[in-house]
Amino acid sequence: MEYRRLGRTGFKVSELCFGALPMGPRQKNLDVDTCTRIIKRALEGGVNFIDTAQIYETYEPIRRAIHAYGGEVIIATKSAAVTYEDMERAIQEAREKLQLEYIHIFHLHAARATERIFEERAGAMRCLLDAREKGIIGAVGISTHGVAAVRKAAAEKEIDVVFPLVNIKGAGIIDGSREEMLAAIAEAVAAGKGVYLMKALAGGNLLDNYQEAMAFARRVPGIAAIAVGMVSEAEVDYNLRYFNGEDPGIIQTAAKEFAVVETVCIGDGACLEACTNDAITMVNGKARINRAKCLLCGYCTEVCPQFAIRMI
């Protein structure tokens, strides 16, 4: 496993970052014991970097795994909080649920952000800066799917870490192309930001071309790591073999797909507005998901008042 400096943060992270979204309630909804075993297996295999978020609801298995493991683990989390007070509560929640006095990286969770992100969420940003000053968090970051937000973050001197979406197909990028996102990432790297990537496999859509997709992501200049969601020990082992330079063999993956329960769907369209990749359409008054476009981000599940979108 290769370990790289994350910009100017001082953190040295494994190239393979454990993405905690897919195992949680918004996707596979695995039980806590299973999640704990999966995370611990990754840590024992050399992963020292975990990416999670307040809305992922995965703090409990992460806490269990990192404390059972006992070694140093870099934790990145995020919150969609807008105000100072809400971000303050989010930071305290992370510290309490993870049983950690210090959180290494805390992002503005801003998938659909525009270049106005730091104005629109000035209160939350101020809270993160104050928490960094107090030594409660180590670095301030932004997690986003948008080119403009990455460019803005590159120019924002108080931002330490940028967590953008990019993949070989350019799937899921908002307000720009793959090449424009790569150019924005280059700006962030040049500005000394720590950069690690999300959605290198486009939410599982590129699994059939795993090695090509990963090779593309790994060649993005200046990045420190790639966050990969894993929902089984077999997936952990496959990724560990690949990132350790071994022949990974045949990939074994658990099925991951969102589907709409049409008898429950009321057709209010909230999911269409939440989807960042135009993967949802309305057919005969019911939402329908285009699997080829779906990135499994789970934003649609957050806004559905009927819980009509479920992972199968």
Write out pLDDT tens, residues 143-180: 999 999 999 999 999 999 999 999 999 988 989 999 99
Write out pLDDT tens, residues 14-60: 999 999 999 998 888 999 999 999 999 999 999 999 999 999 999 99
47 token code pair: 């992963």
Nearest to 115 by CA among 148, 82, 144: 148
Q: Look at strands 49-51 and 74-79 and give their pairing.
A: parallel
Rounded to an integer, what distance in angstroms lies between the CA atom of residue 286 and that of residue 26?
20
Write out pLDDT tens, residues 95-117: 999 999 999 999 999 988 899 99
What predicted TM-score, i.e. pTM, was given to this entire model?
0.89
Look at residue 79 and give its three-state secondary structure. strand
